[in-house]
Structure formats: C-alpha cells, structure tokens
Amino acid sequence: MKDDVTGKMSRAVHWVGWALVESMTLVVLSLITLLVTARLLGPADFGIAASVIAIIGVLNTAVEGLFSEALVQRATIHDGHVSAALGAALASALVLILLCWVGAGFLAALYHQPMMAPLLRVGSLGLLFSGFSGVQSALLRRSFGFRQLALRTLVARVSSCVIALAMTIDGWGPWSLIGQYLAATGLGAVALWWWSPQSLRWHHRPGSLRDLWRFAGPWLANEIVQVNLSRLYQALAAYLFGPYQFGFLSMGFRIADTLRDLIGNIANNVGLPVFARLQHDPYGLARQYTAATATLCIIALPCFAGLAICAPTIVQAVLGHDWLPSVPLIQVLAAGAGIGFTASLAYTVFAALGRPAFVLPLSLFEVVLSLSLLLTLSHIGIMAAGLAWALRQVISVVMLQLMCVRVLPLRIADVLRALRSPALLVIGFAAALQLLNVWILPDLEPIVRLAILGLMAGTLLIIGIALIRPSIVKAVIANITSAKQAEPVSISD
C-alpha cells in the first residue's frame, strides 16, 4: 500500500477550493438548523442535550481518532495496519458504550438532571458508527480522496439537519439533538463505506498495532488534553452554572465551533497528508506552513469577524429575545476562535513531523489555566466562561508560533509577514460591515437587516480576497468550472 505521491499533491490543492466552497454551504445549513432548533427548544432543553453531546464528544476521540492520524502520517502502511486500527477502534467503542450505560445514572445525579441518563445511553451508540468510519476516513485522506469525504459530510449533515428539525417541530425536546447526532454519525459511516473505493478485509500481521502506537499513543495523549479541552471546559461550565445558563454558553460554542470545524477540518485533512510528505524537507515544510497559514487566515478571519458583528442581529432575528444573553458570549468566542486560527496549522506540522506530543506540555498548561480561570471567575456569571476561554486562545497562539520557530527554519518575522495580509483584510472588512450595521441598517427589522448584512458580508469578503490574494478566487472559479481538468490551479502565490 505504498503511496503514489506523484500527482497527488496537485489533486490535494485542487480539492481545497472545491471542499472550501462545499464547507461554506454546510456552515450556512448548520447554523440555520442550530439557530432554529435552539429557538424551538429553549435554553434549558438545549443545555441538557448539549451537555450530553459534550460528554460523548470527549469519548469519541478515543474511537474515531485513535489510530486514524497514525495511518495518515506514516510513510507506508500495509493491510495489517488497517485491520489493527479498525479492530482497536471498534473495541474502544464497545467499551465506552458499556461505560456510558453503566455510569449514566451517576452523571445524571451529579448534574441534577435525571433526563441526562437516557440521553447519554442512547447517544453513546453513535460511538460505534464513529469506530467504523474513522479508519475509512483516514485512508481517504491519505490518498487525497477529499471529494468522497466532502460528499459524505454533505449527505450526513443535510439528512441529520432535516431529522433534527422534524423531531423538534414534533415535540421531541432534547431528544432532537441526540437524534441529529446519531443520524450524522450513522449516515456518515454508511455514506463513507458506500463511496470508498477500498474495501477493508481482515489481515492479521504481528507488530502492526505496535507500529501505529508509536505515533498514536503520544497523539492520543495530546488530543485528549488539547482537542477535548473545549468539551471538558463546557462540561465543567454546565456543572457550575446549570443547564439554563449553560445553554447560552453552549450556543456561543456551537456557533463558533461550526465555523471553526468546517474550515479548520478541511485545513487539517488536507494539511496533514501534504505536510507529512515534506517531513524530511524542513525548508519546504516551513514554506508550506506560512503559505497555508496566510491562505487559511485570509478566508477564516473575516468569517469570524462577521459573526461577531452580526451576532446581535442573528439572535434577534432567529433565536428571539429569550436568547439575548448569548450575544456577548457569541462575540467573545468568535473573536477567540478567529485568533486561534492564526496558529491552528501548528498542530498539523507537529503531527506531520511525527512529534504529536511536542505540544503536550503547552496543552496541560492550557488545561490548568482555563479551568483555574473558570473556577476563579465563576462568581461573576456565565460571561467569565467566555472571557477565560478567549484569553486561553490568545496565549496558545503566541506559544504555538514560538514552538514552530523552534522546530522549523522560520523566524518570527516570517510568521508576522504571512499574517500581514489577513490582518489588513479583516480590519477593512470589519470596519465596512460595522458601518453598515450601525449607521445604515439600524432601523430595519432584524430579519431584513440580517439578510442584507449576510449578502453584503459575502460581497465584501469576495472583493477583499480578490484584492489581497486574487489567486484564491481564480483557483476556486477554475476548479468549480473545470473540476476534471488535468492540471488544477494552485491557490498559493
């Protein structure tokens, strides 16, 4: 199963443009479904379901990602590696499902919410679907099969959103979000196996699991700490503030994370296999890192700035007055997520170099810092949770960039130069959008103002990108209009 690298690098760049357009469509769909569901459920029911999903999300790391990243990162793999990864993922899923069924009553008593027990027991079944899809997804990423991955996501997301809306309207309460989660994981697994060109067969080869564990062990340790920090943080916030107040915080996280995940996952899914091919070329990897970071921030930062500016209008138009306390939380979390994107590819670089545990000390520091701030400031209310989280992201960005300078032939000046164009773009974009929001459109009805702001934000973003980095617009247009061209257009200058 040796990689045929020739030609795949260009295909990876080709699918970045296509997958990015697809992801923007999914952002709109996901946000609309989230906002409508939250309005119909109310903060209390929404908070209960969000607490359960946060717990399941923590466990999902040990299932879907246990050996998946190791399969992507290794220079060569064989069938024994694939079989070992699949068997370990399914075994982990079954063990964690059993733990959820046994411990659901204890967690419900701890949170003083009896409804959490049945929600957790049923929702945990989604871990089994994740076990099936994790390995297949890794193989597609490894072979740059981003089109199949994007189609899988589209089918699962559209179907699960329809199911969630139908269940909410029919009066299922918090079960609506659990149904959405199960539909997304279940349909995603089915679609992935249906479209995958490679069928998996069991091949036992001694030492396969040990080969993968050399990377997967350190990666999992850091993943549990770093990636699941948000979920652990939210679980503690739900305990401290209760489901009603936590509903507002969860809304902020869900909206900001929708943008972060759909943009960031594309960057990581494409970035890891591309960066891994350059792990023995530090100068080439450094150039790719700065170029990819600049391109990613040019697209992502204006999106988060627009979300922060439009948050009051979004809440008034879609969620209603009951959700107004979530506005400052959405704004703070959106700002923090945008800042975090300026160093998000650093994790991908360390993984590509085979050093996923390099950031583990920083991750542990972030856990102590964020949870300590949350506990210390909890007496001032739920807003403390948003501020503490954003502050953690600022500190993390600084530390990650300094660490990249240590492992790559980079200077701080190189990183700052790469971020110069995104910074100019987001300042101009935010100023123009705020001018529209405050001075031109304040007297309009919220729903009308939101429609105009959305249209103008998209127009301003396209104009700004075309002025600062025209190659991005050209590449997206070329790849959409000629998806089967032999030589895809690069989005890098």
Residue 493 has pLDDT above 50, yes or no: no
pLDDT for res 71: 74
In the chain, the N- to C-terminal Cα span, in Å, equals: 33
Q: Pick the closest to residue 93 from 138, 68, 56, 118 (CA basis).
A: 56
pLDDT for res 274: 79
Residues 265-311: tens digit of each pLDDT: 667 767 777 788 888 888 989 998 998 899 889 988 999 999 999 89
Q: Provide CB contacts within 8 A for 290, sequence distance 6+.
A: 410, 414, 415, 417, 418
465 pLDDT tier (thresholds 50, 70, 90): confident
Domain that holds residue 290: 8-481
Q: Pick the closest to residue 145 from 332, 273, 328, 30 (CA basis).
A: 273
What is the torsional sign of CA 474, 297, 319, 440? negative
Instruction: For the full predicted model, state whether its pTM sits above 0.85.
Output: no
- 96, part of any domain: yes
Question: Torsions phi, psi of 2, nearest 5?
Answer: -70, 150
- 106, part of any domain: yes
Q: Pick the closest to residue 238 from 362, 57, 395 (CA basis).
A: 57
- 491, part of any domain: no
Let me know if 255 is exposed, middle or buried by CB neighbors in 10 A (0-12, 13-18, 19+). buried
Q: Which letter does DSSP use for residue 113 in this model?
A: -
Region 150-170: mean pLDDT is: 83
Q: What angle do CA 81, 85, 91 make, to 5 degrees?
A: 145
Residue 245 has pLDDT above 70, yes or no: yes
Residues 125-148: tens digit of each pLDDT: 999 888 888 777 777 777 766 667
pLDDT for res 423: 93
Tokens matching residue 402: 């300094």
Residues 201-224: tens digit of each pLDDT: 655 665 666 767 776 677 777 777
Residues 389-411: tens digit of each pLDDT: 999 999 999 999 999 999 999 99
Residue 28 has pLDDT above 90, yes or no: no
196 pLDDT tier (thresholds 50, 70, 90): low
417 pLDDT tier (thresholds 50, 70, 90): very high
If one counts the domains in the chain, the total is 1
Average per-residue pLDDT for the chain: 80
Percentage helix, strand, coil for the chain under 3-state DSSP, each rounded to 5: 85, 0, 15
378 pLDDT tier (thresholds 50, 70, 90): confident
Q: Pick the closest to residue 369 from 403, 407, 398 (CA basis).
A: 398
H or E segment at 467? Answer: helix 446-468
- Rg (C-alpha) for the chain, rounded Å, is 22
- 487, part of any domain: no
Residues 117-129: tens digit of each pLDDT: 999 999 999 998 8
Torsion of CA 32, 156, 265, 487, to 10 degrees: -110
Residues 309-327: tens digit of each pLDDT: 989 988 888 888 888 999 9
- 492, part of any domain: no
Tokens matching residue 167: 């269940």
pLDDT for res 7: 43
- 275, part of any domain: yes
Highest-pLDDT range among 46-60, 349-363, 398-412 = 398-412
Beta bridge pairs of residue 2: 76
